[in-house]
Amino acid sequence: MRTNTFVRKLLSLVLTLAISLFVFLPSGVTPTAFAASKAEIEQKIDELDNKIEASQEKIKENDKKIDSASSSASELQSQVNAVQAQLDAYNQKIDLLNQRIAALNAEISKTESEKVKNEAKMAEQKETISITQQALAQRLRAMYISGNVSNLVILLEADSFTNFLNRLELVSRIARHDNDIISTLRDEISEYEAIEAKLEEQEKRLEEDKAGIESSKAQEQDAKSEIVSSKKVLDQKMSTLNNYISGLESNSKELQNYITSARQQQQAYMNQINAQLAQSSSTGTGTPSGDMIWPVAASGSYISSGYGSRWGTTHYGIDITHANGGSNSVPIVASASGVVKISSNACSHNYRKESNCGCNGGYGNYCVIDHGNGLLSYYGHMARSVVSVGQHVEQGQLVGYMGCTGYSTGPHLHFEIRVNDGSSRSVAARNPLNYVRQP
Supply the minimum distance, in Å, between the C-beta of residue 305 and Zn ion.
Answer: 6
Cite the DSSP H helix spans in 146-160: 151-156
Length of the chain: 439
Complex with Zn ion: residue 266 or 420, whichever CB lies closer: 266
Complex with Zn ion: residue 59 or 357, whichever CB lies closer: 357
Supply the minimum distance, in Å, between the C-beta of residue 291 and Zn ion.
Answer: 23
Complex with Zn ion: residue 237 or 381, whichever CB lies closer: 381
> Which has the closest alpha carbon to 356: 255, 429, 259?
259
Site of interaction with Zn ion (CB under 5 A): 317, 319, 347, 349, 357, 359, 414
DSSP helix/strand/coil, 24: coil
Complex with Zn ion: residue 273 or 347, whichever CB lies closer: 347
Q: How far apart are CA 101 and CA 95, in angstroms?
A: 10
> Which has the closest alpha carbon to 91: 236, 232, 229, 228?
228
Supply the minimum distance, in Å, between the C-beta of residue 385 and Zn ion.
Answer: 13
Cα 409 to Cα 348, 354, 367, distances in angstroms: 15, 6, 20
Contacts 24+ apart (CB under 8 A), 9-16: 10/72, 10/75, 10/76, 10/237, 10/241, 11/237, 13/72, 14/72, 14/237, 14/240, 14/241, 14/244
> Which residue's Cβ lies closest to Zn ion?
359
For residues 331 and 385, the answer to whether their CB atoms sit within 8 Å is no
Complex with Zn ion: residue 189 or 346, whichever CB lies closer: 346
> Cα 325 to chain center, whole Å?
44
Supply the minimum distance, in Å, between the C-beta of residue 408 and Zn ion.
Answer: 8
Beta-bridge partner residues of 303 = 320
Complex with Zn ion: residue 192 or 363, whichever CB lies closer: 363
For CA atoms 46, 47, 49, 54, give the dihedral sign: positive
Q: How far apart are CA 135 and CA 151, in angstroms?
A: 16
Complex with Zn ion: residue 97 or 347, whichever CB lies closer: 347
Q: At what angle do helices 38-145 and 2-20 cross, to 10 degrees?
A: 140
Residue 178 CB burial class (10 angstroms; 0-12, 13-18, ≥19): middle
Supply the minimum distance, in Å, between the C-beta of residue 417 and Zn ion.
Answer: 12
Complex with Zn ion: residue 42 or 220, whichever CB lies closer: 42
Supply the minimum distance, in Å, between the C-beta of residue 336 and Zn ion.
Answer: 20
Strand (E) or helix (H) holding 193:
helix 161-280
Angle at alpha carbon of residue 261, lines to 25 and 367, rounded to 5°: 115
DSSP helix/strand/coil, 72: helix
Supply the minimum distance, in Å, between the C-beta of residue 29 and Zn ion.
Answer: 17
Supply the minimum distance, in Å, between the C-beta of residue 84 and Zn ion.
Answer: 50
Supply the minimum distance, in Å, between the C-beta of residue 85 and Zn ion.
Answer: 52
Complex with Zn ion: residue 10 or 347, whichever CB lies closer: 347
For residues 23 and 248, the answer to whether their CB atoms sit within 8 Å is no
Complex with Zn ion: residue 317 or 374, whichever CB lies closer: 317
Q: Label the pairing between strands 301-305 and 398-401.
A: unpaired
Supply the minimum distance, in Å, between the C-beta of residue 25 and Zn ion.
Answer: 21
Supply the minimum distance, in Å, between the C-beta of residue 227 and Zn ion.
Answer: 56
Complex with Zn ion: residue 231 or 414, whichever CB lies closer: 414
Q: How far apart are CA 263 and CA 82, in angstroms?
A: 48
